[in-house]
A and B are shown apart, each in its own frame.
Chain A
């Protein structure tokens, strides 16, 4: 996936200009930045839920904007922050909806579809939960179900909007480690927004820092070398410590 000089925003208002980055297969990338800088907007733009305001956005050399919904559905899958409209589905049924881009006009599942669903459920360790209804699950379990659905969609790229919100430390780490292993083992491109900068530094292959000006993008250690994290927050409140890769509260 290649992004060059992309402007994102709503209507005529540009939220964040000039974003450039490119990610390869098997890479796990985080998008970080302060509230309101446009992380989710960028993700929604890449997923073609809203249109870009100029710039290049290509997948496999093809422009995302020119792809039909059913073509794009085989390239990009999404995990959004919005809750699913109906939680009265079993885990298995919800994961199975991920196969929609491949099923026939009435949505019958083939043997291939069924295998992909079983695989996705297994990877996300949801086997015991597969007959539970979604309203019976905890936030962490539901998040895993949504990732399983995206995985079942079997796209090259998986976009996740704040997959770690509302989760405790253990479940945050669990989800992020799962994302990384999925990216490395299945050679998928994973791109997610997060406020967990310290964890992203430890886990991700690359990080895009949205600051609305330069929007640096690189490997975490190089970003630390370039002191890119230091200007992220006002230094009188929190300061970044490059040696440990953590933020310190200024007292």
Chain B
């Protein structure tokens, strides 16, 4: 709610509460701003924070690698490729200024197509290889390929398109309509349900793959569920908000440090809550309360998040994983 009350147009906290609980406001436009801009933005931040943090946790446990995040399978690179092709490639090949075609919705569609193409490629490969670590490398390789294509595109494109693309990569939790929000929240819900189903096998993975298998975990099936769930979470979030960095990598670490456990029955709900709180907080800071400008959220997540993680690690002197 504090998040909702801050923004370019300053609306007092009391008035925000009034608007949210249905009382008449003296200023009609305030009510409009709150219901059609600020509330969706806050909900997006909550959903995106929770989803990214959860997919980060899934990847770190699956790969037993503290550096893994929601995007190690190349999901965000796929999304950036989709967005890049739409924004830069389109004007490049048709030679037209197609700004009328490029808006939030078409970018969301292009980036979700991109991320799901990459995801399906990775799943296809995952079913053929046995080694999970090889999958990690393959995800990284996909990232390199897409990054290369994006740089080629940016080299040839015009300044305006390049700026638009870079602006997309900053990430933003604003600008979603209620319909988009419903789509996003049902995807997140599906992702969370799948992860809950995987909690038992995730705990088995803590011992390593061979032990997990000896405990009766069906490795192929559980790996598939975990990858699909990550794909749905990270893919749909990236499609609507752009690639929001850091949350997925850092929140699972913060949560492990604070709760001092590796049990996913505690970690899964905890990262959901922490993830949404932290992204909400970052969004609040990005607003620069009292100012008219809004900072890119990607910069804020890292500026706030990185020192917190460093501080926690230094205080405990030991990384918990």
Chain A interface (Cβ within 8 Å of chain B)?
A: 47, 49, 69-74, 76-78, 80, 82-86, 88-89, 93-94, 97-98, 100-101, 103, 105-107, 153
What are 28 A-B pairs with beta-carbon distances under 8 A? Answer: A49-B214, A69-B216, A69-B219, A71-B216, A72-B214, A72-B216, A73-B216, A74-B216, A76-B214, A80-B208, A84-B206, A84-B207, A84-B208, A85-B207, A86-B207, A88-B256, A88-B261, A93-B262, A93-B263, A100-B203, A100-B204, A100-B215, A100-B217, A101-B215, A101-B216, A105-B200, A106-B196, A107-B199
Closest 10 A-B residue pairs measured CB to CB? A73-B216, A70-B216, A107-B200, A85-B64, A100-B215, A86-B206, A78-B214, A101-B216, A85-B208, A84-B207
Contact B210 A82 (CB under 8 A): yes
User: Could you tell me the distance in whole angstroms from the C-beta of B56 to the nearest C-beta in chain A?
Assistant: 16
**With A88-B256, A106-B265 in contact, do A97 and B214 touch (Cβ < 8 Å)?**
no
Contact of A85 among B206, B213, B214 (CB under 8 A): B206
Q: Which residues of B contact A94 (CB under 8 A)?
A: 207
Interface residues of B in 187-227 (CB under 8 A from A): 196-197, 199-200, 203-208, 210-211, 213-219
Q: Interface on B for A, CB 8 Å cutoff?
A: 64, 196-197, 199-200, 203-208, 210-211, 213-219, 256, 260-263, 265, 320-321
- Distance between Cα atoms of A158 and B320 in the complex (Å): 30
B181 to A: closest C-beta gap in Å? 29
Q: Are A103 and B211 in contact (CB under 8 A)?
A: no
The CA-CA distance from A151 to B157 in the complex, in Å, is 64
Residues of A within 8 A of B320 (CB): 88
Closest-by-CB residue of A relative to B202 is A107
* Cβ of B189 to closest chain A Cβ, rounded Å: 18
Which listed residue (A86, A89, A93, A100) contacts B216, Cβ 8 A?
Answer: A100
Q: Is the CB of A69 within 8 A of B213?
A: yes
Is B64's CB under 8 angstroms from A86's CB?
Answer: yes
The 8 Å CB contact of A89, one of B199, B206, B215, B217, is B206
Since A80-B208, A97-B207, A107-B203 are in contact, a sample of 20 more A-B pairs with Cβ atoms closer than 8 Å, ordered by chain A residue number, is A47-B214, A49-B213, A49-B214, A69-B219, A71-B216, A72-B216, A76-B214, A80-B211, A82-B208, A85-B207, A88-B261, A88-B320, A88-B321, A93-B262, A94-B207, A97-B203, A100-B203, A100-B216, A100-B217, A105-B197
Closest B residue to A90 using CB positions: B261
In the bound complex, residues from chain A placing their C-beta under 8 Å from that of B196 are 106
A49 close to B204 (CB less than 8 A): no
Measured in the bound complex, the distance between the Cα atoms of B204 and A203 in whole Å is 33
Would you call B199 and A106 a contact (CB within 8 A)? yes
Report the separation of the CA atoms of residues A153 and B217 in the bound assembly, to the nearest whole angstrom: 13
The smallest C-beta distance from B293 to any residue of chain A, in angstroms, reads: 42
Q: Are B64 and A78 in contact (CB under 8 A)?
A: no
A98: B residues at CB distance < 8 A: 215
**B residues less than 8 Å from A89 (CB atoms):** 206, 262-263
Q: Which of B215, B218, B263, B265 sits near A153, CB closer than 8 Å?
A: B215
